[in-house]
Amino acid sequence: MKKILIATLCATALTLTACDKKSTDTAAATPAVQLSTNNTADIKADFAAIETLGTAKAKEALEFQNKIMQAAQTGGVEAVKETMTSMEKFTQDFNKDLDALTIKSTEVDSIRNKMKASNDTSLEMIKMTTSGKPDQNKIMELQKKATTIQQELITETQALKQKLGS
């Protein structure tokens, strides 16, 4: 159980910090806007905005990684609960910040949505892992889902960087 918790928490911290090189309130809707496609100016501006936000959140995410590891290693129930509460708020705030970005391109909007899905999946995985009796099958499904989202996010980000010549 403790090994699964540590592995899950590490995977989540990695997910949260992975966006630094480029995420809740899923009910918060992005304003209905006509998004452009293949518009280099929009993609550049949007990509810069999402990278700036990711960089700003990276330090906080790294601090979380340390807190998560400490809580998992000490095994203190209160430390885990406190970290979980803080992480949930961080994830919700990060997703709200992503929603608040004025994105004009479909390409970067896709990245934003994957970042939010990654954040939500990671949080769900941690909640499942820290529950009294975690469902191992559900945790494995969530780990696979998180990995898939993360791979898609990396692929899309790299493709956009190539397209922009970055």
pLDDT digits (tens, 9 = 90+) for 52-96: 999 999 888 888 778 877 877 887 777 777 888 888 899 999 999
Helix (H, G, I), strand (E, B) or coil at 115: helix
Instruction: Provide the domain limits for residue 119.
Output: 2-13+37-164
Whether residue 21 is contained in a domain is answered as: no
Whether residue 20 is contained in a domain is answered as: no
Task: Report the length, in residues, of the chain.
Answer: 166
pLDDT tens profile 102-159: 999 999 999 999 999 999 998 898 788 777 778 889 989 999 999 999 999 999 999 9
Q: Which two tokens stand for residue 113?
A: 């949505």
> How many distinct structural domains can be found in the chain?
1
Query: How many other CB atoms sit within 10 Å of the CB of residue 56?
Result: 12
- pTM, rounded to two decimals: 0.78
Q: How far is residue 109's CA from residue 102's CA, in Å, rounded to a whole number?
A: 9
Q: Which two tokens stand for residue 83?
A: 């970290």
Helix (H, G, I), strand (E, B) or coil at 71: helix
